[in-house]
Amino acid sequence: MLKNPVFWIAIIALVLLLFGASRLPDIAGNVGKSLKVFKKEIKELQDDTDISIDDKSSDSGSTGSTDTTGSPQSTEQRRTDENTTT
């Protein structure tokens, strides 16, 4: 349906009737500006998310976890302890 050229001609004609030829450049310019702002905000959000993830990973510092007594414990030891208690 979208590949049919008659469909696109009908859509263009409908847009011309609704908005008029004089307003189309304004509408296209506004849509372009909106997309530019949207992409900028998405990029900033991704950068902020990447920075916060990097901060969290650098704050943890150690590879092992800490149990309730405060001593470091490897992941394998923790799994073994969890399996024996259940």
User: Assign residue 74 a region: left if phi > 0, alpha if psi is -120 to 50, beta otherwise?
Assistant: beta
Residue 25, in any domain of the structure: yes
With a cut of 60, say whether residue 46 has pLDDT above it: yes
Residue 28, in any domain of the structure: yes
Residue 83, in any domain of the structure: no
Cβ(64)–Cβ(58) below 8 Å: no
Model confidence band, residue 51 (pLDDT cutoffs 50, 70, 90): confident
- Total domains in the chain come to 1
CA 8, 12, 13, 17 torsion: positive or negative?
positive
Q: Give me the pLDDT at residue 26, please.
A: 92
Whole-number mean pLDDT of the chain?
A: 77
Residue 64 DSSP code: S
Residue 31, in any domain of the structure: yes
Model confidence band, residue 13 (pLDDT cutoffs 50, 70, 90): very high
Which residues lie closer than 8 Å to 16 by C-beta, 6 or more apart? 24
Q: Give me the pLDDT at residue 78, please.
A: 56
Residue 15, in any domain of the structure: no
Query: Percentages helix, strand, coil for the chain, rounded to the nearest 5?
Result: 75, 5, 20
